[in-house]
Amino acid sequence: NAGVTQTPKFRVLKTGQSMTLLCAQDMNHEYMYWYRQDPGMGLRLIHYSVGEGTTAKGEVPDGYNVSRLKKQNFLLGLESAAPSQTSVYFCASSYSMPAKGSQHFGDGTRLSIL
Amino acid sequence: KQEVTQIPAALSVPEGENLVLNCSFTDSAIYNLQWFRQDPGKGLTSLLLIQSSQREQTSGRLNASLDKSSGRSTLYIAASQPGDSATYLCAVSSSGGSNYKLTFGKGTLLTVNP
């Protein structure tokens, strides 16, 4: 029972490089989310999706883009990485909106931008 | 703007002790409050979810209470074990803001010593 799987688990980038983080869930959840977790800041929502083909901005969307072409996948892209984007990125999914139900989290992607 | 505070930031107890973790939030207009556990290098695991109309939820040795009017929640852990060592996060879903946003506290790092 995989749940939410994030790829890759670790990555080091140079400033200006681009990359895509992949999130896959096998629970047939409608809602998916990308968070970043930084020391002293807690988790902050970057972007989210309420269904296949939809995306919306969260609390800290600048510098990131997302796509949800398939219901089970939610991609987070960094077009031109900056040191400020060094963080641990978590993907989550849920059957219903946060107002009604819990979210299931992946194990995170640790990203360092040099 | 909803703010979530967790006290203490860190707690160390001997095995077998009962303990209480605290969470407070500034805006009482919430849908629900959740407690999560995060192990080092891992994602978040949902422990308990309390809807705004509920006063408490229990799961095994865990009991979470909610006092919405005062903006407080507690997580009670009975007969603590070394395996309970982790960071505990609370998060609220606020009815006054985006329905898709959870506001997280910064967590309490719990260490249970054998």
User: A92-108 pLDDT, tens per residue?
Assistant: 999 887 767 788 999 99
Give pLDDT, residue A100: 72
A81-112 core/surface letters (b: 16 or more CB in 10 A; e: else): beeebbbbbbbbbbeebbbebbbbbbbbbbbe
Residues in chain B: 114
Give pLDDT, residue A29: 94
Residues contacting B53, CB < 8 A, separation 6+:
none
Q: Is A88 on the interface with B (CB under 8 A)?
A: no
Cβ-based neighbour number of residue A40 at 10 Å: 6
Give pLDDT, residue A96: 82
B30-51 pLDDT, tens digit per residue, is 889 999 999 998 899 999 999 9
> In this structure, which amino acid lies at residue A9?
K
Give pLDDT, residue A105: 93
Put simply, the answer to whether A105 touches B106 (Cβ < 8 Å) is: no
pLDDT at A90 over 70: yes
The pLDDT-based confidence of B98 (bands split at 50, 70, 90) is low
How far is the alpha carbon of A33 from chain B, nearest alpha carbon, in Å? Answer: 9
Top residue of A43, A74, A96, A107 to mutate, by most chain B CBs within 10 Å, is A43
Of the listed ranges B76-80, B92-96, B98-102, the one predicted with least confidence: B98-102
- Residues of chain A positioned with their CB less than 8 A from the CB of B44: 43, 90, 92, 103, 105
Give pLDDT, residue B99: 63
Search chain A and give the residue with CA nearest B107.
A42
Give pLDDT, residue B73: 98
The pLDDT-based confidence of A56 (bands split at 50, 70, 90) is very high
